[in-house]
Amino acid sequence: MNHKKIYRLYQEANLAVRRRKKAKRPTSERQPLTPANSPNAVWSMDFVSDTLASSRQLKCLTVADDFSHECVDIAVDHGISGAYVVHVLDQAACFRGYPRAVRTDDGPEFTSRAFIAWTQRHGIEHLLIQPGRPMQNGYVESFNGKFRDECLNEHGFTSLAQARDVIAT
């Protein structure tokens, strides 16, 4: 039996496989890049991807403070979900305090229910950049470029543990 016969039998029996609709997330108003006026005013976040020697994906979440241009945190894992992002931000807030706003693109990790609930729970403004305009998140894009050149391109990581050790230093 091939797929055409199965499709014909489904049609004759009036059967159909229902397609799941993608959940719509609330969107915020897109805002252009404005300079921060104090530390912890705005944290910018983005992802950098690389691969291990075994061809497995490596994903790095970089969080940078827009005012001081310093790295707040870098999380490294094979996959990073919205709940993982929230966990990383809560850990960073233990040492630095919560920011007044976070600037991100509209990736699934940053539009997830967990992330949106976290911003609302802590009264943090979520600033989304316009699609196709990465320079509206210019501070973290600049940091990611230096991070790629100085860390990721110089090392051929063989394991997640090695990548975490090198990136942590």
Tokens linked to 40: 């912890």
Virtual CA dihedral for 144, 124, 126, 57, nearest 10 degrees?
Answer: 40
> What residues contact 5, with CB distance under 8 A and at least 6 apart?
none
The DSSP bridge pattern shows strands 42-51 and 71-77 to be: unpaired
Number of Cβ within 10 Å of residue 78's Cβ equals: 10
Residue 95: helix, strand or coil by DSSP? helix
Nearest-5° Cα angle at 94, 90 to 96: 105
* CA 106 from centre of chain: 9
Entry pTM: 0.77
Per-residue pLDDT of the chain (169 residues; tens, 9 = 90+): 788 888 888 888 888 776 777 666 555 566 666 777 888 899 999 999 888 888 889 999 999 998 888 889 999 999 899 999 999 999 999 989 999 999 998 888 998 999 999 999 999 999 888 877 888 888 888 888 888 888 777 777 888 888 888 888 7
